[in-house]
Each structure stands twice: as C-alpha cells, then as structure tokens.
Structure 1
Amino acid sequence: MAFFKNQFANVVEWEEFRDDMIFWKWSNREIKKGSKLIIRPGQDAVFLYNGKIEGIFTDEGDYNIESEIIPFLSTLKGFKFGFNSGMRVEVLFVNTKEFTVKWGTKNAILIPTLGLPGGLPIRANGTFQFKVNDYIALIDKIAGVKQSYVVEDIQIRITSILDQLLMKWISKEGKDMFNLQANAYDIAKGIKEDLDMEILQDGMTITGFNIMSFNYPKEVQDMINKTASHGMIGDLKKYQQVSMTDGMASGKMSGSGAASDMAGMMMGMNIAKEMMKNINDDDAQQAAPSHANQPKQEAAPGGKKLPNFCPNCGEKTTGSNFCPNCGHKLV
C-alpha cells in the first residue's frame, strides 16, 4: 500500500522560478496523500480553491500538506484523502521582495515653454521600486487569469503613462525649465503618488521613484552651460580671457602648420601683455602717494619756485635762495 501512496505523492513548489518573476501559479494538478509543500526564502504560498483564498503561508520550509497545511485551510480543513481521491487546488507562489526597475523616456517630451511654440524637448531617466502588498486585489485583477507575471509587465505598464506624468509634474507650479534637476525631488514625489494610485488596485504599491537626470537637446544644453559660465565669471572680458586660456590648455586651439603656431603665439603674447598691464596698473596705484602726503614746494621771491634739491650738489634745500651745503644760488 505504501508503494502506491508514494506513486501518487507529489511536491508543490515554485518550479519555474525566475528572479524577475512576481508570481507563478501551480495548477491543473491534484494534490495527493503524502504531498509536500516547499516554500523557499522570499516566497509566500497562497492556496486557492474555486478562485478564492483558502490560506496564506509565509514561513519558509517543507510542509506535509495533509497534516500541516489542510488543517489551516478555510473550507477544506476537514478534507480526507482517499486511495484514489486527491484535492484539486491551485497554489499561487508570490515573490515578496522589492523590485527595482530602470526607466527612461523613449522619445523626448515636449514641455510647454514660453518662447518655444513647439515646447522644450526633454528626456529623463531613473529608477522605481515596487512590491506586492495585497493578495486579494492581485488575484482579482491579475493572478486570476494569468499563470505568471514578470517585472517587464509592470515596466511596460508604468512607462506607458510615465510621459504624461512627467509633463504634468514638470509643468506644475512654474518649474524652471532650464534647471529641472533642482526640482527633481518634488517632481519624483508627485509622480510616485500618481503611479501608486495606478497600480494599487492590482495589489501592488510603488515604494520609491527616483529621477537620475534630465537631458536637454545639445543646443539647449550648450546655452545653459554658457549662461552658467557667464554667471560664475560675472564679466564678459574675464570670460573671454578664461575661454581663451582654457582653449590653449585643452589643446582646442592647437593645429598644424605655421598659421596655427602664429595664432597661438599671438594669443599668448596678448594674454601676457594684458597680464603685465594689469600688474603695472596695480603697482602704480599702490606706489602713487596721495596729494595730502606730498611736501609743499617752496616759492621764491618774484613767484619763482625753489627746487627741492640743489642742482649742484644734490643736497635738500631749506627754502632759502642759496644751497645750505655748497652755497649755490638756487634762483
């Protein structure tokens, strides 16, 4: 008798497990006397009978279905196995982990912007996280008609409405179109709430939504970078000088032949000349004494001015008409 019982025995487990699979359904088979249920880490097993939940088992391990599972099933707790009779149920295995999915806009989103009739084309990318949180809703909406469900199914659904949500939350409250990264947190928070409402009815929840970057067309990005450079330098003349110096340092101004060499030489001379001029101007301003500190020049009789130093011996004069050292007549 035991030989035949073992022939009918089977194992109920997640047979087609994939790391990106959200759930998988064991079905279309009878559970016989002596069958076992295997629950692995990160899995829940949901027993279904006629489409309704009979019991949910969350602890990993190997269980004897007759003695350890059936007594906890709602309407089947009194079921008795016979030699030729089995129990026909479905077991839904659910992956309990939090899934992380990368997303990115397939096409540029045209955001209405003042001065751009067609809108400003923007691309964005990032990640979002989700997990199953309601088995009843999951079975009613998805698992009741599907054998399995994978992350790609959710990704397709999310990305199909993501463009509309990005446009909604970027345009909201007059965001700075040319500095969206500064508002990325608020935009992502609004999108997360909308996405959560979208998939909540299917028994899942969005646990996180992140925007890694916003990308503009090259022409617009170049304009943003140039504007930022002007703002940091604050002076067009200095901006030109820095741009010139950067060009030389990076090799962008280099070329081949005498013409490029001459251009580089002239550029270097102009920069050096400008630097020396600035240094000399600064030195002159520091060295020049104020009028208040300059000694007053004495006036000789008849309105003629006396020299400060004797032209004959160089001794400093004292205000008289003759040098106090050599006696030379000063006027």
Structure 2
Amino acid sequence: MGFFRNQFSNVVEWEEFRDDMIFWKWSNREIKKGSKLIIRAGQDAIFLNNGKVEGIFEDEGSFNIDSEIIPFLSTLKGFKFGFNSGMRVEVLFVNTKEFTVRWGTQSPVLIPTPQLPGGMPIRANGTFNFKVSDYVTLIDKVAGIKQSYLVEDVKIRITSVLDQLLMKWISREGKDMFNLQANASDIARGIQEDLDMQMMDIGIGITGFQVMSFNYPQEIQDMITKTASHEMIGNLQKYQQVSMTDGISSGKVQGGGAASDMAGMMMGMNMANEMMKNMNQNNQSSNNQNQGQNQNNPNQGQQQNNNASASQASNGDGKKPNFCPNCGAKNEGANFCPNCGQKLA
C-alpha cells in the first residue's frame, strides 16, 4: 500500500527551479484528489495532455487542482476522481522573466574592407535580452522533447549565427571601418531584428541587443591611437614626420647609420627653413610698418630732407646758413629767419 500511495502527488510545483532555467516539466506522475498546484512569482503553469495544451495558469498562489484547476481545463472538465484513482498529466512551468546574457565573439570576424585584402579582423562583445513569447511554439519545437531548457541553450543557438550577422550589419552600416562604435546602435538594431526572426521559430523573442565595444588587432589599434593623438587622419606627410621624430626621441633611430643621418639632416633643414621663414616675416613686418608711417605723414620726409640740407649748409665757421634749420626757408645772409624768426647766427 505504501508503494501505491507514492505513485500519487500531493503538490505540483517547480521542484528544480534555477534562475537560468527557462522552463521545467513536471511529469511521469499522477495527480490525486485534493492535490495542490503552487505557482510562484515569475512563473506560469501550463497543463498538457498527450502533448496538447489543456490550460495556462498565470496567477501566482496555491490552488486546489480538482476544484480550481480541473474545471478550467478544456478536455478534462468532466474528469471525476475515484477514491484511489489518479490522473496522469504533464505540467510545464515557464519562467516569465526577461533574461540578460553576455556575448562575445570566440574568434575574430573578418570584415571585408578595401584597405585590407584579407579583411579586417574584428572582435566584439555586448549583451542581448530575451524572453518566452509563444508557449505553443515553445512546446511544439522544444518542450515536447526536453525536460528543461537553460539560458545557455539559447546562448549557444544565438552565438552560432552571430558571426554571420555581425559581418552582414558591419559591412552594411560600418561606413568608417576604423570607428565602428559610432554606428554601434544601427548595427545592433539590425542584428536584433534578424535574431528575433530566427528565434521566433522556437517561441522566444529577442527584446534587446547591445554592442558594448568593437576590438581591433593591437597593431591597428595602435595606429588608430597615434593617428587620433596627432590629429593626422589623411595627412601622410605629417604622420611620417612625427613618426621619425618619435623614433629619434625614443632611441629607436640612433647610431651612425643612414637612417639616423637622414633623420638628422631632415631635422636640420626643417629648423633652418623655419628660421629663414621667421626672419623674412619679421623683415616684411618692419618694412610694412615704415611704409605705413610715411603714408600717415607725407610731409615728414620732406621736412627731414630740408633739415639735413640746412645742417649741411652750415659749415660751423660762424657763417650764416643758406637755409633755416627750423622751417627750411632760404636765407639771404640775415641773422634771423625771415619766415619763422629762428636765430641763424
């Protein structure tokens, strides 16, 4: 009798609950009269009979199966319990929460680009979100043959196609292959739409997809960093000049070799050119300043010439000058200038 009683269950509940479990199936036991169904927060209970959905219960709580559950089942409403008889059904417990999963490329994805014939090797990482969206499809495609289903199972399914989707949407939206982060939201949106279409086949909806970062090979990342730090995008000459200067200052270009001599000669020529350029600019500035002064006072030059002539006319032996040193007027031997009154002797 003890063995017979163990064939029946008093409580139907999710017995092996895990946070990363999408669904778990209660099966291979019979329900006896007076049994309880326990549904916890974040769970739905689906009654199955011969693989078909009999009823879906979403409210959390404890329910009497024969009085609160059976009357609502589609084909089992007329089921009557005997004293020791039972009813064999399956109950699928589904986790209703939204799952968040981290993803990352296992190996570099080769993105076609004109700059690199073999493709740009890029790694990426981020997160995606999903939840169960269609119970009937989930039961038909997955739960019918599995006892449980984990988040890891969904992750494996998604990462198996993720490389192809990354290649597709990076090539389509990645206009600047060296700054993919600028188009990360557009790339992620396209991947989410494609993944949602694929996962819909098993009753799961992709509710979000994010690209956290794109990672380039180290040598390409170093080039991008140097280019950005020196503001030399598209300026090859400047890049070469700074690279040579960096090499000399770091000691990578040293000794009496041809590279060192050439670098020193180029630096010397550049410094001489800069000095000559600065000198020419200073001379030009001085000439412009003098010309500006003469234009502002055109009589100043004439006055200076008259003063010089007067000074030359005075020979320092007591004779009166031929021209007044003050105003430049001609003198006819007078002691005072007839024009301005300046003393001349």
Same fold flag (TM > 0.5): yes
CA RMSD of aligned residues (A): 4.0
Gaps of 5+ in 2: 252-270, 312-324, 330-339
Partner in structure 2 of residue 140 of structure 1: 140
Q: 1:297, CA displacement in angstroms?
A: 2.8
1:191 paired to 2:191: yes
Q: 1:173, CA displacement in angstroms?
A: 5.6
1:87 paired to 2:87: yes
Q: Which moved more, 1:228-237 or 1:84-93?
A: 228-237
> Between Structure 1 and Structure 2, whose CA radius of gyration is higher?
2
Evaluate the alpha carbon distance shift between residue 227 and residue 305 of structure 1 in structure 2; reply closer, same or farther with a 3 A threshold: farther
Summarize the alignment of residues 209-220 of structure 1 with structure 2, pairs less than 5 Å apart.
209-220=209-220
> Counterpart of 2:92 in 1: which secondary structure?
strand
Q: 1:227, CA displacement in angstroms?
A: 2.3
Partner in structure 2 of residue 22 of structure 1: 22
Which AA in structure 2 matches 1:69?
I
Distance in 1 separating the partners of 2:326 and 2:213:
79
Distance in 2 separating the partners of 1:36 and 1:306:
131
Partner in structure 1 of residue 159 of structure 2: 159
> Counterpart of 2:293 in 1: which secondary structure?
coil
Distance in 1 separating the partners of 2:88 and 2:199:
31
Distance in 2 separating the partners of 1:199 and 1:207:
11
1:172 paired to 2:176: no
Evaluate the alpha carbon distance shift between residue 118 and residue 319 of structure 1 in structure 2; reply closer, same or farther with a 3 A threshold: farther
Q: 1:238, CA displacement in angstroms?
A: 12
Partner in structure 1 of residue 319 of structure 2: none
Q: 1:230, CA displacement in angstroms?
A: 3.5
Provide Cα deviations, 1:205-230, integer angstroms capped at 9, x if missing partner: 00000101111011111112222233
Summarize the alignment of residues 50-69 of structure 1 with structure 2, pairs less than 5 Å apart.
50-69=50-69
Evaluate the alpha carbon distance shift between residue 175 and residue 86 of structure 1 in structure 2; reply closer, same or farther with a 3 A threshold: same
Distance in 1 separating the partners of 2:140 and 2:344:
122
Q: Which moved more, 1:35-44 or 1:75-84?
A: 75-84
TM-score w.r.t. the length of structure 1 is: 0.74
- Identity, % of aligned positions: 68
Give the conservation status (yes or no) of the 8 Å contact 2:125–2:211: yes
> Counterpart of 2:164 in 1: which secondary structure?
helix
Distance in 2 separating the partners of 1:18 and 1:185:
32
Q: 1:160, CA displacement in angstroms?
A: 0.7
Distance in 1 separating the partners of 2:49 and 2:239:
78
Distance in 1 separating the partners of 2:198 and 2:18:
25
Distance in 2 separating the partners of 1:194 and 1:306:
99
TM-score w.r.t. the length of structure 2 is: 0.72
Distance in 2 separating the partners of 1:45 and 1:22:
12
